[in-house]
A and B are shown apart, each in its own frame.
Chain A
């Protein structure tokens, strides 16, 4: 697919007088991975929510998967998978019921639910309400929920939080580089995620302080962001 998956030009989003995001411009080809670094409150989560059509951009033009937001947001929904801090799952329902609910919303068959439950090794505990499960298990069900509808674009906000190394290994084919999907990952540890990045974006107080291909970036600059 020649057309870039993501094209941002002067994206801005403000929260009252404070500018959560301003002047973010980048382009990401399909299949590539963009890793976003930046201290807390730099606007990483806001960026993900704008790309996921949950937040309307206040300025600049945003083209996600060939549709520009916010007018053609409907064309993007269902083709984007979001894995944020919140699992977006109901604690009272079981893992299977949650995934079935999301499957019906996205028009996905039940086999896919069963297949994904196996893929995240949650088959055995699929019948218990989520509130009885550990945070790691809930995160794995959330990963399954994020890729349930086979999205073309994955938006991952610190995907490996609460996951033990074995679990990271387990979900790699779904949300890792092996999944072959275009990915935008927000992360705090330059060592791990920098390896799988194609493009690196550094955000500081909503503004892009660093934007370059992974080859030209040196870890010193990334550390600089957090000072």
Chain B
């Protein structure tokens, strides 16, 4: 039997990516605390801006990216796209939780109470979080992995289109209570803008690293299950896969290798 499947194609990519991410985050933290001047009005509290807003932007981009990957999955019916869409949305949900928590900390700092309805980004994030919180239960509620992937992709595309719509509606309806420094990234003086950009890049790299890390872990687990099926195929009836929200990638372990060029991701 020729090589059953290409060796894992992830390892090296992950190593270089994580090194770059660590450097970027270190630089960002250095800039935030030692280089960026104190903002006139909010003073030191404004430093939260450099973590809250990048988290928010990356989470939103992640949700929309999850929708785009889902479109690709519906077009090509290739379960790997569904796996990517699942991981990206799963990660964006974690970043959205981070956004909500840092946002409420910021609200406590600047207006004295943990939740503020007048801040549009916070409010729309709560709605988006509530929507994407149903992604996992929806996947878990469908047994057939192929249909699970398809329904999840339909959800991801609908929710991906919902994200901007929700922002428009909430932004229109929220009275502006205070200067727009919290959300806006445009009218920042030079050094602040640089610091913000570096923090944004660092956050994006963190997102990419964690996604790749999870993809590798999931791929390894499905390879393992394929190996278990092949081995136990000889010994006893293979234990069927327990029902789970995680996409199932069928590694036809016995089947000839996929196109040699494309790594199995």
Contact = CB atoms under 8 A, between A and B. Distances in A.
B240 A15 contact: no
A17 B144 contact: no
A77 B146 CA distance: 23
Contacts of A15: 144, 146
For the residues of B in contact with A, the DSSP-based class is loop
14 contacts: A14-B250, A15-B144, A15-B146, A16-B143, A16-B144, A16-B146, A16-B240, A16-B241, A16-B248, A17-B238, A17-B240, A17-B241, A17-B248, A17-B250
B145 interface: yes
Contacts of B146: 15-16
A18 interface: yes
Contacts of A14: 250
On chain B, which size bracket covers the interface? 10 to 19
Interface string A76-100: 0000000000000000000000000
A218 B154 CA distance: 50
A150 to B, nearest CB: 32
A16 B79 CA distance: 12
Given A15-B146, A16-B248, A17-B241, 14 more contacts: A14-B250, A15-B144, A16-B143, A16-B144, A16-B145, A16-B146, A16-B240, A16-B241, A17-B229, A17-B238, A17-B240, A17-B248, A17-B250, A18-B240
Interface of B: 143-146, 229, 238, 240-241, 248, 250
A75 to B, nearest CB: 21
Q: Select the residue from A14, A15, A17 with max chain B CB neighbours within 10 A.
A: A17
A78 to B, nearest CB: 25
B221 to A, nearest CB: 14
A15 B238 CA distance: 15
Contacts of A17: 229, 238, 240-241, 248, 250
Nearest to A15: B144
A128 B170 CA distance: 53
A53 B146 CA distance: 17
